[in-house]
Amino acid sequence: MATTAATDTSAKIENPYRIIQITDPHLGASRDQSVLGINNYQSLELVVELVKQQQGRNFDRIVSTGDISSEGSEQSYRDFLQLMEPFGRPISWLPGNHDCPDTMAGIQDVPLLDPQRVVEMGAWQMLMLDSKISGAVGGNLDQQELELLEVTLKVTDNKHTLFCLHHQPVDVGCGWMDPQKIRNADRFFEIIEQYPGTKLVLWGHIHQQFEDTRNNIQLLATPSTCHQFEPLQQQFKIGHQLPGYRWLDLYPDGRIVTGVSRIKSTPFEIDYLSEGY
């Protein structure tokens, strides 16, 4: 399997390209910060330990789909990267609504951090798309992002393609959260559905597991490494599900095998009665 190359073309034809998705850790400037009773840094540590136990170093890339930080501090991003670096695998990330893109872009001294927006992975490619709207909770893909989509797909229509976002492009059945989806999601799908190589859209933000399909495209979201949101709720509600991560195997023939793993117990006294955060 490929390891640290930004463009990974050495994967054996019979082997899948394995991605570990870690999303929405909401780290603070201090490792002591707690939200809704959960110390977010320690909770991420527990998920990282679970990855070590289940995966070791037998994967190709870490992908983080936003809200790495709760307030955009450089220290929070440094803490995240420090936890990821021992795996020795390339790290791709994108900003969520709580993140500071300028601070993220300013970190250039971590060799494993891959800034490329389009990542080649053998028979696959991954597009890292920025859905953040400055000062807003919800998402949108601006003209620059749409142009990146169109230009890339036109010249690489022989590739299987994975699209990574922070915000959800579809309703997920949570009345309080569905208005936060990507405003121009219809245009996003209009573009990507033209290309038969479009296989998968992957995101964070919703702090819950979600799986669906649309026109043979898999749609996947992943639990946060900290607090969870209860699925299918009209009002904000903290879920009793535990933090976790997603793994994805991308096969050269376009097949996708994926699963979610969660920690088995938590040392935290979670505030399940909170009406927001």
State how far the alpha carbon of 49 is from the alpha carbons of 165, 196, 264, in Å: 25, 37, 12
Q: Residue 118: which CATH number?
A: 3.60.21.10
The span from the CA of 43 to the CA of 25, in Å, is: 8
Considering the domain boundaries, does residue 273 fall inside one? no
Residue 9 neighbours by CB under 8 Å, 6+ apart: 2, 120, 122
d(CA 198, CA 209): 21
Query: Residue 14: is its pLDDT beyond 80?
Result: no
**Does some domain include residue 124?**
yes
Residue 104 tokens read as: 């993220």
3-state SS track over 214-235: ECCEEEEECCCCCCCECCCCCC
Pairing of strands 38-39, 160-164: unpaired
Give the pLDDT confidence score for residue 13 in this predicted structure. Answer: 52
Whether 141 is covered by a domain: the verdict is yes
Is 203 domain-assigned?
yes
18 closest CA partner among 51, 67, 66, 49: 51
Question: Left (φ > 0), alpha (ψ -120 to 50) or beta: where does 276 sit?
Answer: left
Rounded mean pLDDT of 268-275? 87
Structural domain contains residue 10: no
> How many other CB atoms are there within 10 angstroms of residue 118's CB atom?
15
170 domain residue, yes or no: yes
Q: Do 258 and 199 meet the contact criterion of CB atoms below 8 Å apart?
A: no
Given a contact cutoff of 8 angstroms between Cβ atoms, the answer to whether 150 and 188 are in contact is no
Residues comprising the chain, all counted: 277
Residue 268 in any domain: the answer is: no
| pLDDT tens per residue across span 55-70 | 999 999 999 999 999 9
| CA dist., res. 2 & res. 193, Å (int) | 29
d(CA 183, CA 258): 27
Q: What is the mean pLDDT of residues 106-125?
A: 96
Report pLDDT digits (tens) over 201-247.
Answer: 999 999 999 999 999 999 999 999 999 999 999 999 999 999 999 99
Sign of CA dihedral 195, 122, 54, 52: negative
Q: Alpha helices of the chain — where are they, by DSSP H? A: 40-55, 74-84, 101-106, 143-155, 185-192
- Domains: count for the chain: 1
Paired strand residues for 113: 91
Which domain does 152 fall in, by range? 18-262
Query: What does the alpha-carbon distance between residue 117 and residue 121 come to, in Å, rounded to a whole number?
Result: 13
Is 207 among the domain residues?
A: yes
Distance of CA 109 to the CA centre of its chain: 22
Average pLDDT over residues 182-200: 97
Task: At 113, give phi and psi (nearest 5°).
Answer: -75, 115
Question: What whole-number percentage of the chain has pLDDT above 70?
Answer: 95
| Tens-digit pLDDT profile for residues 19-42 | 999 999 999 999 999 999 999 999
Q: Say whether pLDDT at 2 is over 80.
A: no
